[in-house]
Amino acid sequence: MKIWQLVMIHLLTHTLLFFTPSSQPTNNQTSNYGVDLPVLLSFKSFITSDPTRALSSWSWDPAGNGTSTASLPVYCEWVGVACSNRRHPGHVTAIRLQGIGLAGTICPQLGNLTHLRVLDLSANNLAGEIPGSLGRCTSLHALDLGVNYLSGSMPASLGLLSKLTFLNVTHNNLTGDIPMPFSNLSALSNLSMSSNHFHGQIPSWLGNLTSLTHLELAQNGLTGHVPPGLACYFMKTRTKANDVDQRIIFHNERISYAEIDAATNSFSPANLIGSGSFGNVYVGNLLLNESLATVAIKVLNLARRGASRSFLRECNVLRRIRHRNLVKVITVCSGVDHNGDEFKALVLEFICNGNLDEWLHPNTTTKSTRAFRRLSLMERLCIALDVAEALEYLHHQIEPSIVHCDIKPCNILLDDDIVAHVTDFGLAKIMRTEECKQSGGGTESSSFVIKGTIGYVAPEYGSGSEASTDGDVYSYGVLLLEIFTARRPTDNFIDGVTSLANYVKMAYPDKLLEIMDVRATYSGDMQSITDIFLYPIFKLGLACCVDSPRHRIKMNDVVKELNTIKKACTAHMSVHEF
């Protein structure tokens, strides 16, 4: 065969190979799926509990094409996973699964994610050791494992992470000394290792980390002197907590006791805007994200020292809850006051227009000097719907559900648009956990006294029943009846009536206009108001207040009923005044 014929055959063979479809993935796909996918699936296999079902999306169908709509691997759309689509298409660059209650251990295979830049597993229930294999994640910039139950020593291999700028392992059970290889972390600007069991001398080489601007070594067994010039909070022992201004960090928010003390003018009575079973509430101005903000500061009642780890974990979960009708939890302070006593407070969104109790009972509210205008029936309906939607979210849309335990008008705040915001959600569980820890018990106990308010507390709580969403429904029913009668459940009723629900039952269904709040504004004929509005509203309130928790309506059904009433009223208003 001639040479030119051999050349033509060679070219033809390569041409056919080029145009022949391949069932195999491309080199790029192979590199991604061959490393990143197995690592993520392995990570999931190491998780023993996922209460929010965040990892339910972490599933893989080998028969599928494995790509998302953006032509990236499907795992790039999994909850908490971010991928690069430029320099390294399809490679995992961030895993953010903070504050969702994950339990289990950290998968050693994470060290194979060589393009990982951020790993945030903070505020979970992870145990076991920190894998030394993370030292192979040479692209890592931020590693946050704070507020878990991790044990063992810090892997020296983390000293190989030359690009690391943020390292947080606060509030774990870590032991040993600070590894010498950490002296190679020249890019590190934030090193937070407080509230562990580290021991030994504070390394002098910390002063050589020129990028380091924040160092936390408090509440450990470390000894020696901190290199000068570092923004540091160091405690030699765990018991002398008043030697230093404690600081608890959530991401970039840093709120200390000293800052709260200054914001409230040393907890001046002039700044006190409320008090309840969980503690006092103060108004103050704090510097948050470089802006001065007016906030509400709830200082929790603590008779004895509690477990700050459980407190931080619960509060971090609350910080991530977002609903238009729930008061936003901004950050938290957990430390010690000037006397060395334990101090815990929540920093909350400030709602400026008073609480519902002040609006419903303006003549009996002695603490407020402002005048509250009369609320119309439609405004009251919208307030009731706002509260119901907030409770529906807490009961049915997050996992695990949150039981409020103290639904009452004082815990319903109104903004300038008369939109209702529920506050104090989640505090019952926090205080319950604290009380159990303080009493020496490892778990929550049914002996915990429900911190509700007389008149709003479900009857089954009196016989020792556990807190439940059904109990919240009962409290909501009392609230609903109060909104439209302006009668407190603790009022003295005539004819031997002992509860607000029984007071309404006596008027239902023929005398509802007689018990309606005289300050409620409306227009239209009485019969329409009764048929379209009062009758279904009071029927719903009584359905919430039945004695048997098993027979009470659920909160999602309450929302449906209120929306039906609202639609009927809106349709009637389009034809007639109401």
What span, in angstroms and rounded, lies between the C-alpha atoms of 121 and 149?
Answer: 12
Binding residues for ATP: 298
Identify the active-site residue in 406, 424, 470, 472.
406
191 within some domain: yes
Residues 364 and 448 in one domain: yes
Is residue 406 within 8 Å of residue 451, measured between CB atoms?
Answer: yes
Residues 548 and 469 in one domain: yes
Q: Mind listing the pLDDT tens digit for each residue in 364-377?
A: 654 556 778 899 99
Question: Highest-confidence range of 45-49, 297-301, 440-444, 492-496, by mean pLDDT?
Answer: 45-49
Is the torsion defined by CA of 425, 427, 433, 435 positive or negative? negative
Residues 320 and 405 in one domain: no
Contacts of 85 (CB under 8 A, 6+ apart): 70, 72
Q: Mind listing the pLDDT tens digit for each residue in 511-559?
A: 999 999 999 988 778 888 899 999 999 999 999 999 999 999 999 999 9
What is the distance, to the nearest Å, from the Cα of residue 220 to the centroid of all Cα atoms in its chain? 27
Q: Which of 300, 318, 350 marks a domain boundary? A: 350
Sheet containing 291-300: give its strands across: 272-275, 279-288, 291-300, 342-349, 329-336
Section 288-307 average pLDDT: 71
Residue 229 carries which side chain, given as an amino acid letter? Answer: G
What span, in angstroms and rounded, lies between the C-alpha atoms of 374 and 305?
Answer: 45
pLDDT band of residue 331 (cuts 50, 70, 90) is confident
Residue (of 366, 370, 375) closest to 353 by Cα position: 370
110 within some domain: yes
Q: Mind listing the pLDDT tens digit for each residue in 182-217?
A: 999 999 988 989 888 999 888 888 888 888 877 888
Q: Which of 214, 239, 264 marks a domain boundary? A: 239
Residue 497: predicted pLDDT: 87
pLDDT band of residue 222 (cuts 50, 70, 90) is confident
Q: Mind listing the pLDDT tens digit for each residue in 228-264?
A: 655 443 433 332 332 222 333 333 345 788 889 888 9
What are the two backbone dihedrals, phi and then psi, of residue 371, each rounded to the nearest 5 degrees? -95, 135
Binding residues: 298
Task: Return the beta strands (E) in 367-486 as ranges.
Answer: 412-414, 420-422
Residue 304 has pLDDT above 60, yes or no: no
Residue 496: predicted pLDDT: 81
Q: Which of 7-21, 272-286, 500-514, 520-534 has the lowest mean pLDDT?
A: 7-21
For the purposes of burial, counting CB atoms within 10 Å of the CB of 489, is it exposed (0-12), middle (13-18) or buried (19 or more)? buried
Residue 251 carries which side chain, given as an amino acid letter? Answer: H
Query: Domain holding 439: CATH number?
Result: 1.10.510.10
Residues 153 and 192 in one domain: yes
174 within some domain: yes
161 within some domain: yes
Residue 298 has pLDDT above 60, yes or no: yes
Residues 69 and 194 in one domain: yes
Higher pLDDT, 19 or 54: 54
Catalytic, 495? Answer no
Residues 447 and 468 in one domain: yes
Residues 270 and 334 in one domain: yes
Helix axes 469-485, 555-573, angle to 10 degrees: 30
From the CB of residue 77, how many other CB atoms can be counted at a distance below 10 Å?
15
Is residue 515 within 8 Å of residue 504, measured between CB atoms?
Answer: yes
Mean pLDDT, the chain, rounded, equals 80
What span, in angstroms and rounded, lies between the C-alpha atoms of 504 and 339?
Answer: 51
Q: Is-above-0.85 flag for pTM? A: no
Query: Domain holding 93: CATH number?
Result: 3.80.10.10
What span, in angstroms and rounded, lies between the C-alpha atoms of 459 and 446?
Answer: 16
Residue (of 159, 190, 161) closest to 177 by Cα position: 159
pLDDT band of residue 99 (cuts 50, 70, 90) is confident
Residue 181 has pLDDT above 50, yes or no: yes
Residues 123 and 217 in one domain: yes
Is residue 124 within 8 Å of residue 100, measured between CB atoms?
Answer: yes
pLDDT band of residue 444 (cuts 50, 70, 90) is very low
DSSP 243: G
Residues 337 and 359 in one domain: no
414 within some domain: yes
What span, in angstroms and rounded, lies between the C-alpha atoms of 422 and 387?
Answer: 6
167 within some domain: yes
Residues 430 and 570 in one domain: yes
Residues 200 and 260 in one domain: no
Question: Highest-confidence range of 241-250, 301-310, 460-469, by mean pLDDT?
Answer: 460-469
pLDDT band of residue 47 (cuts 50, 70, 90) is very high
pLDDT band of residue 175 (cuts 50, 70, 90) is very high
Contacts of 53 (CB under 8 A, 6+ apart): 399
Q: Which of 206, 239, 272 marks a domain boundary? A: 239
pLDDT band of residue 338 (cuts 50, 70, 90) is confident
15 within some domain: no
Query: Number of structural domains, the chain?
Result: 3
Query: Domain holding 301: CATH number?
Result: 3.30.200.20
Q: How far apart are the first and last CA of the chain?
A: 100
**Domain limits for position 228:** 32-239
What span, in angstroms and rounded, lies between the C-alpha atoms of 352 and 421?
Answer: 11
Residue 134 has pLDDT above 90, yes or no: yes
What span, in angstroms and rounded, lies between the C-alpha atoms of 384 and 310?
Answer: 33
Q: Are strands 342-349 and 291-300 parallel, antiparallel or unpaired?
A: antiparallel
Residue 455: predicted pLDDT: 93
Contacts of 527 (CB under 8 A, 6+ apart): none
What span, in angstroms and rounded, lies between the C-alpha atoms of 131 and 121?
Answer: 13
Higher pLDDT, 452 or 259: 259
Contacts of 428 (CB under 8 A, 6+ apart): 403, 404, 405, 406, 450, 451, 467
What span, in angstroms and rounded, lies between the C-alpha atoms of 480 and 472?
Answer: 12
Residue 208: predicted pLDDT: 87
Section 273-283 average pLDDT: 83
Alpha carbons within 13 angstroms on the beta-carbon side of residue 116 total 26
Residue 141 has pLDDT above 50, yes or no: yes
Residues 525 and 474 in one domain: yes
410 within some domain: yes
Instruction: Report the number of secondary-structure helices (H) and strands (E) in the chain.
Output: 13, 24
